[in-house]
């Protein structure tokens, strides 16, 4: 399963919203016999990275970009 976008407004951080969303998606993946869940996050979003890691996710790849102007 690939999660394209998950977001919680800053005022809802640390109120269990993200936890509830993650539990629901993991439950849905399990119900569908999906064996892995992937998601991506902006490099600057360190708070989200820490949250995802507490949910058992680990970094898989890094995408590099060079702007051409």
Tens-level pLDDT at each residue, the chain (69 residues): 999 888 899 999 999 999 999 999 999 999 999 999 999 999 999 999 999 999 999 999 988 999 999
69 is a domain residue: no
Q: The pTM is what? A: 0.84
pLDDT, residue 5, reads 86
- Write out the residue range of the structural domain in which residue 47 sits: 2-54
19 is a domain residue: yes
61 is a domain residue: no
pLDDT, residue 58, reads 96
66 is a domain residue: no
Total number of domains constituting the chain: 1
64 is a domain residue: no
pLDDT, residue 57, reads 96
10 is a domain residue: yes
62 is a domain residue: no
Question: What contacts 25, CB < 8 A, 6 or more positions away?
Answer: 1, 3, 6, 37
């Amino acid at each position: 399963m690939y999660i394209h976008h998950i977001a919680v407004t800053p005022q809802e951080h640390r109120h269990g919203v993200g936890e509830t969303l993650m539990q629901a998606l993991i439950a849905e993946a399990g119900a569908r016999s999906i064996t892995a869940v992937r998601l991506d996050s902006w490099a600057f979003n360190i708070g989200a990275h820490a949250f995802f890691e507490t949910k058992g996710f680990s970094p898989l790849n890094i995408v590099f970009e060079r702007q051409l102007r």
